[in-house]
Amino acid sequence: MGQGVLEVDDNSFESEILKADKPALVDFWAPWCGPCKAIGPVMEELENTYGDSIIFARCNVDNSPNAPTKYGIRAIPTLILFQNGKVFDQVVGAVPKSHLEGLVKKAL
């Protein structure tokens, strides 16, 4: 079990995600986004299972516009899997837990 889903912003994104020593799955979301709310509990479940191997993080696009702009995010929720500071894979939209779990397993 890991440390819980990490909250990242424009200030901490590089140090927490890009310079991390393990893969990181970042959920780009906003509080007003209905489908985003469905992803939150799934991220927590996955973090409970894979949190020792992968960082699970959330980035509120309303509070941190730089990271979403840098990665060309046009719709939320968008989940990007980073490995060694680079985009490894990504998913757009509220997808089932099994889909996200498959994404996580690719990085292990």
> Among all residues, which ones are annotated catalytic?
33, 36
Return the structure tokens found at 27: 């959920």
Rounded alpha-carbon distances, angstroms, from residue 45 to 38, 41, 56, 92: 12, 6, 10, 19
Buried/exposed 9-42: b ≥16 CB within 10 Å, e otherwise: eeeebeebbeebeebbbbbbbeeebeebeebeeb
